Amino acid sequence: MMLFIGFVEACIVIAATQAALGHPHARHASDCIRSVLAEAADAYIAAQAAGNISLLEGVLAEDWAYEENNKREEPRKGVLSKALKIDHYRTNFDLIACATYTELIAADPANPYVIGTQIRHGRDSKVTLIDTVSSTTNSWLFDAKKTLEHVLQESWDPIPESKRDSRDVIKAAGDAYLDMWSNATAADAVPWGTPCARLEGSAYTGKGRPDDSCKAGIPSNHSQAPNTRRRYVIDESMGSVSIFCVWEHMMMAADSHEFRLEGGKLRYVHTMTVCGGQQCRL
Ligand SMILES: *[C@@H]1O[C@H](CO)[C@@H](O)[C@H](O)[C@H]1NC(C)=O
Ligand SMILES: *[C@@H]1O[C@H](CO)[C@@H](O)[C@H](O)[C@H]1NC(C)=O
Ligand SMILES: *[C@@H]1O[C@H](CO)[C@@H](O)[C@H](O)[C@H]1NC(C)=O
């Protein structure tokens, strides 16, 4: 965990430096400052660790909303009010949409969770929405301990500025991937990379080999399952897009897909899929 705290701190330093130098990102989003987004994401992680919503008080807008597994929920009844032993987290920043995406893993066998959370900020920088996909026992291919092992082997270092893909390229890659379930030719538009590893729940396609591929088991049965209600958090410095949606072809599940591109090519895919408290089945 120390490693990730270090990374968040590094991001705050970068944000402060960018602001001081009048970096275009800082100018472009005057009410969308990385350190402000980081403060809220860190408060969210602390609140989730403690199971105490009060720790969010300073960052929330008065009329903030909480969504869990694609449904509006009373935060005091949701997973956010459950203390979790957090083993890993990583937060990505969208300085255009004023939003963050946090991936969080609690491998504790007594209380295992793998959670994705998008946090959206309003004009005054206060949090207007905490939107969570909270996978646990019965979720698709769920095993928090295995997920943690795989995640800790991956490298999500920031991408050097000169090598970053554009927001549009990153978003289009994620959309093409999600379109594969309803569109037989969408796979041609996915910028498949080699190596590429897909972490689907706890199942991992990566073997640590240079020819690792994410194409294994991609859909061949194209039905009317367009993966609707897509919500995006895009971080060019990470090459990443988080997309939450309704996963129609698997019990109308609540779904989180996160993609990372390196050099325009797909490098990592992480998924969490929650089937309304029931065992997920295809
Ligand atoms: C929740 O956090 C608040 C603010 O720090 C604190 O006053 C309160 O005692 C905490 N509640 C619990 C149940 O720990
Ligand atoms: C299917 O995907 C292809 C490739 O991205 C795209 O050109 C086409 O417009 C898509 N078709 C539909 C119906 O969305
Ligand atoms: C293909 O999709 C249709 C519609 O969703 C479904 O009824 C059918 O069982 C699927 N077939 C296979 C082989 O998965």
The confidence score (pLDDT) of residue 2 equals 39
pLDDT in tens, the chain (282 residues): 333 443 434 434 444 444 444 444 433 444 589 999 999 999 999 999 999 999 999 999 999 999 999 999 999 999 999 999 999 999 999 999 999 999 999 999 999 999 999 999 997 899 999 999 999 999 999 999 999 999 999 999 999 999 999 999 999 999 999 999 999 899 999 999 999 999 999 999 999 999 999 999 898 777 777 999 999 999 999 999 999 999 998 999 999 999 999 999 999 999 999 999 999 998
Q: Are 173 and 121 in contact (CB under 8 A)?
A: no
Domain ranges in the chain with CATH number 3.10.450.50: 2-151, 161-274
Backbone angles phi, psi at 78, to 5 degrees: -95, 180
What's the half-sphere exposure (Cβ side, CA atoms, 13 Å) at 3? Answer: 11
- Give, in words, the CATH class of 2-151: alpha beta
Task: Compute the distance from residue 225 Cα to the ligand 3 centre, in Å.
Answer: 11
Q: Which atom of ligand 2 is nearest to the CA of 176?
A: 5
CATH topology of domain 161-274: Nuclear Transport Factor 2; Chain: A, (3.10.450)
What is the structure's pLDDT at 31?
A: 59
210 alpha carbon – ligand 3 mean position (Å)? 34
- Please report the pLDDT score of residue 3 as a whole number: 39
**Number of the ligand 2 atom closest to the C-alpha atom of 186:** 2
Distance between start and end Cα atoms, the chain: 34
Q: Is 249 helix (H, G, I), strand (E, B) or coil?
A: coil
Question: Which atom of ligand 1 is closest in space to residue 52's alpha carbon?
Answer: 1
Residue nearest to atom 10 of ligand 3 (CA): 221
How is the chain split among helix, strand and coil, in percent rounded to 5? 30, 30, 40
